[in-house]
Amino acid sequence: MVTTIEIVCFDGFEELDAIGPYEVLQVAASRGLPLDVSLVTLEACDRVTAANGLRIEPDGVLSVAEPPDIVVVPGGGWNDRDSAGAWAEAERGAIPSALADLHDAGTTVAAVCTGGMLLARAGLLDGRPAVTHAGALDDLRETGAEVVDARYVDDGDVLTAGGITAGLDLALHLIERLVDAETADAVATHMEYERRA
């Protein structure tokens, strides 16, 4: 059975928040793990421009009608209240609404860095342990989340990771959840990355 994982991209997303987990999961897929990993947007578009200028062509649109097994949400632009990025998307409200709908439909929702603030806006962190980028921890404390000191937090159907590079550890943890620690360790070794918990 194939596990579908959609990584939501939006103008101003932090590159490594999305591309790091994407590469980890694609490496696992290339090693035989049955994963279908894609970069998606909420609405159809030809191109998305990330925080540092990387431009990507998304694979498609977030499947709200046919929910993926897992959705990963990057951050970016929150701490500076940028006009593009997680802050702008939280204010717009469409992504948090879609995340709430997906979670209600049974999708596991994961966030990297200040992508966790989009989960908070969706109400998905209320009463749950969570973490985000160090620069946004005070904002997270103002929500209903229980802020913890961790690289990533797995609360079953909702996962959060700290700042930027923590997305690599979150993705490796997802592989461990889906298969086992040995497979996750093999992917980390292939990528010459030392896992952190």
Amino acid at 94: A
Structure tokens at 121: 């806006």
Structure tokens at 92: 């717009």
If we measure between CA atoms, which residue out of 33, 14, 2 comes closest to residue 172? 33
> Residue 64: which pLDDT band, with cuts at 50, 70 and 90?
confident
d(CA 23, CA 153): 20
- pTM, 2 dp: 0.97
For the chain, how big is the Rg over CA atoms in Å?
A: 15
**pLDDT, average across residues 131-154:** 97
What's the pLDDT tens digit per position in 2-19?
999 999 999 999 999 999
Catalytic residue among 8, 24, 27, 113: 113
**How many angstroms separate the Cα of 169 from the Cα of each of 32, 44, 196?**
20, 30, 6
What pLDDT was estimated at residue 197? Answer: 81
**How many angstroms separate the Cα of 173 from the Cα of each of 8, 92, 133?**
19, 31, 18
Structural domains in the chain, sorted by start: 3-190 (3.40.50.880)
**pLDDT, average across residues 80-102:** 97
Q: Is 45 a catalytic residue?
A: no
For residue 53, the 8-state DSSP code is S
